[in-house]
């Protein structure tokens, strides 16, 4: 074979090798690009380097990304690939040396988009020890630029022998580095959108919470306004009821006084031994009873309040229960008292007596002639906590909101159910005593009224 044919054969072999290398690079670029394309939530740097490594002919590959530090330059090794595990990995000390001595020379070139190709023969003398320490005989550094910002670089190291990177190899790997920059930017945008979406959700939640707070405050304001208006209406009702009761009492009292005086004259004129004298006595008792009723009507909203004093609660409850069970028609009424005889309370006894009287009387009317009433009273945290329960039919849900209104009556007690003022008066007095009154239906039947009054109470100013 002559020299001419030999040269032609050599060129053919070289061209064939170049074509094979080209094919290998193209396949590696395609695989690496696919890996970056399908890196959805995070970039698979390791897989990306594994795709490029064998085709590049490098012994070790690093991806260096700059860390955001305001006062210094630092690099993180985002990923690395070795063809053989024996090659040393750049440690912290090596990175510090690189940043201080080598990076200032590299940065301007990489920022301009240029690659850096170095071989053992071109290493700067003062850096020889550094390159030897990590077994680097040749390297190719390619910039990672995103929106004109140098974010890092990819370093392809040769550790076995010195090597010169060809133009085509550099262009292939430059393309790979650019693809990596695009993937990083895409992920940055996605993360920024994610952060923006999260911040938007936070703002929506905050503003929704603020709106709910404002709505709640508005509802409370409306409820408070309605409550105050209801109190004003109830106060007007009570004032009207008091005025009406006083007027009725006044109108009845005048003729009643004339009847009583006339009866006294008749009584003096009738002989005590007369067979009808007992009717005179009976009429006088009935007149006295009517007079007592009139007096109570007159004092209905102006109870005779004695000065606040300390007394035993049990004695007052006992007095009221005896009064309510003294009549012939009340003999079958059973009232059970559960109250510590040592409980002392400092309030107006007249007012408390009226409260207890109204509640027990209400329970008796609800339960009927064979009424069973339970009274429980305890002292707790500076308050008298008292409950009065019956076994009546209970209070219907449709009238629960009206039970304390003046002139409202369920009519359960029949003719004895009264004018519907007892509970209204009771609530008015309890409120004036800075206390609370409520009720609840019991199962299977019955109602329990709950009373809470401070054990030490100031007198009510009339």
What sign has the CA pseudo-torsion 208, 211, 213, 216? Answer: negative
| Strand order across the beta sheet in which 334-339 lies | 334-339, 372-380, 383-389, 447-454, 436-441
Closest CA relative to residue 145, chosen from 153, 156, 137, 134: 153
The vertex-134 CA angle with 129 and 138, nearest 5°, equals: 85
Q: How far apart are CA 306 and CA 346, in angstroms?
A: 12
CA atoms of 300 and 35, how far apart (whole Å): 92
Give yes or no for residue 202 having a pLDDT over 50: yes
The domain defined by 304-454 folds into: Heat Shock Protein 90 (3.30.565)
Mean pLDDT highest for which of 20-24, 92-96, 176-180? Answer: 176-180
Residue 29: the pLDDT is: 82
DSSP 225-253: HHHHHHHHHHHHHHHHHHHHHHHHHHHHH
Nearest-angstrom CA–CA distance, 116 and 135: 18
Which of the four pLDDT bands, split at 50, 70 and 90, describes residue 447?
very high
Domain boundaries, the chain: 3-193, 304-454
Structure tokens belonging to residue 431: 């409120």
Q: Which residues contact 56 (CB under 8 A, 6 or more apart)?
A: 25, 28, 156, 169, 173
pLDDT at 413 over 50: no
Give dist(CA 249, CA 294) in Å, integer.
5
Contact by Cβ (8 Å): 95, 127: no
- One-character DSSP codes across 105-136: HHHHHHHTT--EEEEGGGS-GGGHHHHHHTT-
| 278-307 pLDDT per residue, tens | 878 878 887 887 777 677 666 655 554 456
- Alpha-carbon dihedral sign for residues 97, 102, 104, 109: negative
**Cα 172 to Cα 22: distance, rounded to the nearest angstrom:** 9
Distance CA 330, CA 215 (A): 54
Burial class (CB in 10 A: 0-12, 13-18, 19+), 103: middle
Over residues 64-118, the pLDDT tens digits come to 998 877 777 888 888 889 887 666 677 778 888 888 899 999 999 999 999 999 9
pLDDT, greater one: 1 or 232: 232
Strand partners, 154: 63, 142
Nearest residue to 416 via CA among 356, 457, 380, 363: 363
Give residue 416's pLDDT: 44
Q: Under a CB-based contact definition with an 8 Å cutoff, are residues 405 and 425 in contact?
A: no
Cβ-contact 202, 209 below 8 angstroms: no
CA 48 – CA 50 distance, rounded (Å): 5
**155 neighbors 116 (Cβ within 8 angstroms):** no
Q: Give the CATH H-level superfamily of domain 3-193.
A: GAF domain (3.30.450.40)
Could you tell me which residues are beta bridge partners of residue 158? 138
Q: What is the pTM of this model?
A: 0.47
CA distance 339 to 127: 98
Q: What percent of the chain has pLDDT over 70?
A: 82
Mean pLDDT of 448-462: 77
pLDDT in tens, 345-372: 998 888 888 899 889 988 888 877 788 9
Q: How confident is the model at residue 237 (pLDDT cuts 50, 70, 90)?
A: low
213-219: average pLDDT:
89
pLDDT in the model for residue 88 = 64
Pairing of strands 116-119, 334-339: unpaired
Nearest Cα to Cα of residue 118 among 163, 83, 77: 163
């Amino acid at each position: 074979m002559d020299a001419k044919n030999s040269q032609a054969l050599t060129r053919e072999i070289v061209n064939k090798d170049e074509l094979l290398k080209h094919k290998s690079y193209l396949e590696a670029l395609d695989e690496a690009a696919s890996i970056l394309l399908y890196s959805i939530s995070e970039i698979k740097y390791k897989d990306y380097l594994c795709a490029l490594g064998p085709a590049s002919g490098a012994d070790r590959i690093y991806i260096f990304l700059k860390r955001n530090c305001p006062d210094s330059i630092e690099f993180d090794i985002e990923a690395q690939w070795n063809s053989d595990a024996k090659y040393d990995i750049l440690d912290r000390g090596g990175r510090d040396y690189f940043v201080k001595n080598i990076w200032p020379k590299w940065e301007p070139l990489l920022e301009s988009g240029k690659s850096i190709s170095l071989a053992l023969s071109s290493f700067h003398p003062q850096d020889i020890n550094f390159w030897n320490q990590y077994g680097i005989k040749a390297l190719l550094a390619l910039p990672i630029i995103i929106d004109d910002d140098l974010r890092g670089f990819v370093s392809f190291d040769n550790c076995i022998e010195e090597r010169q990177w060809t133009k085509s190899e550099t262009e292939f790997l430059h393309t790979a580095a650019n693809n990596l920059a695009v993937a990083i930017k895409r992920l940055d945008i996605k993360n920024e959108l994610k952060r923006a979406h999260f911040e938007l959700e936070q703002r929506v939640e905050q503003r929704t919470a603020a709106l709910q707070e404002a709505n709640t405050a508005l509802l409370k304001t409306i409820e408070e306004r309605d409550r105050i208006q209801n109190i004003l209406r109830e106060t007007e009702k009570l004032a009207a009821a008091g005025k009406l009761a006083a007027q009725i009492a006044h109108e009845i009292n005048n003729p009643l006084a004339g009847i009583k005086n006339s009866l006294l004259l008749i009584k003096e004129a009738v002989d005590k031994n007369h067979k009808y004298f007992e009717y005179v006595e009976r009429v006088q008792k009935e007149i006295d009873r009517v007079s007592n009723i009139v007096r109570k009507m007159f004092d209905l909203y102006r109870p005779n309040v004695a000065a606040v004093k300390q007394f035993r609660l049990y004695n007052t409850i006992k007095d009221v229960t005896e009064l309510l069970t003294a009549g012939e028609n009340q003999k079958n009424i059973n009232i059970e008292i559960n109250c510590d005889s040592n409980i002392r309370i400092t309030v107006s006894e007249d007012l408390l007596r009226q409260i207890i009287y109204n509640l027990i009387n209400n329970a008796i009317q609800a339960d009927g002639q064979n009424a069973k009433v339970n009274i429980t009273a305890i002292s707790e945290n500076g308050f008298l906590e008292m409950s009065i329960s019956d076994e009546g039919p209970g209070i219907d849900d449709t009238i629960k909101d009206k039970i304390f209104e003046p002139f409202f009556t369920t009519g359960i007690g029949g003719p004895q159910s009264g004018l519907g003022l007892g509970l209204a008066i009771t609530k008015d007095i309890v409120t004036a005593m800075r206390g609370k009154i409520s009720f609840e239906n019991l199962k299977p039947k019955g109602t329990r009224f709950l009373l809470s009054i401070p054990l030490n109470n100031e007198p009510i100013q009339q």
